[in-house]
């Protein structure tokens, strides 16, 4: 009884783990699969499986775009953290920092930055807030760890999604082959009956 509950919990954890992506069941026995309700014809079953595969591919496209955004975001956060660490070292000195900052794509401006203990961070959606350097560093470190964790989860979900798509494509091939064999048998029986 306890082993059954543990297995059930493990299956539920796996299902929850992958963002609610439905798991594609491998069709072991095509004959019994085609006898299930909803599988009246091979064409209808193939259409349903193809639709399921297209949904997986659509989800994969969306997740790949999220992965690309995260892969771009992580280096930006890391670079900003490096700048903050450098500013933190310089905040107790009286010397100004000479720097170049990006105005537009490929256009930089030279600036002298006096020692400071405040920084402004873009939070997105045209929102900028002023932070103490320590608070900004803590926020960015938290954002970096969250982005890294999200990237790992997303890569795991993408692998799971690719497996589901492959399983669905294999199921389609098995149903198609089953249908070809069935039609071939029917054709050979008809020709045997004629002769």
Would the pLDDT of 20 be above 90?
A: no
What is the per-residue pLDDT for 5?
46
Would the pLDDT of 2 be above 50?
A: no
- In this prediction, residues 28-40 reach a mean pLDDT of 87
The domain locations on the chain are 48-140
Angle, alpha carbons 85-87-91 (nearest 5°) = 125
Q: Say whether 88 sits in a helix, a strand or coil.
A: helix
What is the per-residue pLDDT for 166?
95
Q: What is the pLDDT of residues 21-30, one digit of tens each?
A: 889 989 999 9
Q: What is the pLDDT of residues 105-133, one digit of tens each?
A: 899 999 888 888 899 998 888 899 999 99
Would the pLDDT of 13 be above 70?
A: no
Q: Say whether 26 sits in a helix, a strand or coil.
A: coil
What is the per-residue pLDDT for 17?
66
What is the per-residue pLDDT for 125?
87
What is the per-residue pLDDT for 4?
43
What is the per-residue pLDDT for 73?
93
Report d(CA 22, CA 13) in Å as an integer.
Answer: 13
Would the pLDDT of 141 be above 50?
A: yes
Q: Are 175 and 27 in contact (CB under 8 A)?
A: yes
Residues contacting residue 175 through CB under 8 Å, at least 6 positions apart: 27, 30, 33, 34, 42, 45, 46, 49
Report d(CA 30, CA 167) in Å as an integer.
Answer: 14
Q: What is the pLDDT of residues 44-102, one digit of tens each?
A: 999 999 999 999 999 999 999 999 999 999 999 999 999 999 888 888 888 888 888 88
Nearest to 115 by CA among 133, 100, 101: 133
What is the per-residue pLDDT for 11?
46
């Amino acid at each position: 009884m306890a082993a059954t509950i543990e297995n059930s919990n493990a299956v539920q954890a796996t299902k929850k783990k992958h963002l609610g992506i439905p798991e594609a069941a491998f069709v072991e026995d095509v004959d019994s699969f085609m006898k299930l309700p909803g599988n009246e014809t091979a064409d209808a079953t193939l259409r349903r499986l193809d639709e399921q595969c297209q949904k997986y591919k659509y989800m994969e496209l969306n997740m790949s775009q999220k992965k690309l955004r995260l892969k771009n975001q992580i280096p930006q956060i890391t670079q900003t953290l490096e700048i903050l660490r450098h500013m933190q070292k310089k905040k107790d000195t009286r010397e100004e920092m000479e720097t170049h900052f990006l105005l537009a794509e490929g256009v930089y401006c030279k600036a002298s930055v006096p020692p400071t203990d405040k920084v402004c961070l873009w939070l997105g959606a045209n929102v900028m807030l002023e932070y103490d350097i320590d608070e900004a560093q803590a926020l960015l470190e938290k954002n970096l760890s969250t982005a890294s964790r999200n990237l790992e989860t997303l890569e795991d979900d993408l692998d799971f999604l690719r497996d589901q798509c492959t399983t669905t494509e294999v199921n389609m091939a098995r149903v198609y082959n089953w249908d070809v064999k069935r039609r071939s048998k029917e054709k050979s029986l008809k020709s045997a009956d004629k002769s």
